[in-house]
Amino acid sequence: MSEPTATMLQSHPDPLADIEPDLRARALDLLMHCATVCTSCADACLAEENVAELRRCARLDLDCADVCRTAATILARQSRTDPSLLRAVIEACIVACRSCGEECRAHAGMHRHCRVCAEVCEQCAEACDAVLRDLATPVGGT
């Protein structure tokens, strides 16, 4: 199912790629999944009997979903990117994924949705980190 993303990125008219295409496609897929999984985790937290103890988890889920959705949208654009803007958005996304992932990790033993969400947040933060490191590497450089 992740093929459309990769195919799409390759069909763009601009030849110059500021980010390695595989890293971009992987980050895009994880950002989309993280947005959906965090949205679902917030909804599940709200449905739990112990909702009063999951307020912070729901809050961070919602924030993380919003930031991931926007990061995916901006990363999907390949043309005339402002590198400092892309970097700031990806950095905010890493902060959101780490905060949300840590909070969900703390409830992972009790709620399976928190465990799944923690895993996806952690993978998403790593994929964003890889994009960030690639952005910092001068084109053609080592």
Which position among 17, 20, 23, 74 is part of the footprint of its own copies (CB under 8 A)?
A: 74
What Å distances lie between residue 103 and 23, 45, 64, 97, 137, CA to CA? 27, 12, 12, 10, 32
- Distances from the Cα of 34 to the Cα of 81, 108, 131, angstroms: 23, 16, 16
Half-sphere exposure (Cβ direction) of 78: Cα atoms closer than 13 Å: 19
CA count, 13 A, side-chain hemisphere, 5: 20
88-96, 125-133, 134-142 -> range binding its own copies (CB under 8 A) = 88-96
Q: Which of 20, 63, 129, 134: binder of its own copies (CB under 8 A)?
A: 63
The site for its own copies (CB under 8 A) is made up of 1-2, 4-5, 7-9, 11-14, 28-29, 32-33, 35-37, 39-41, 43-44, 46-49, 51-52, 55-56, 58-60, 62-63, 65-67, 69-70, 72-74, 76-82, 84-85, 88-89, 91-92, 95-96, 99, 111-113, 115-117, 119-120
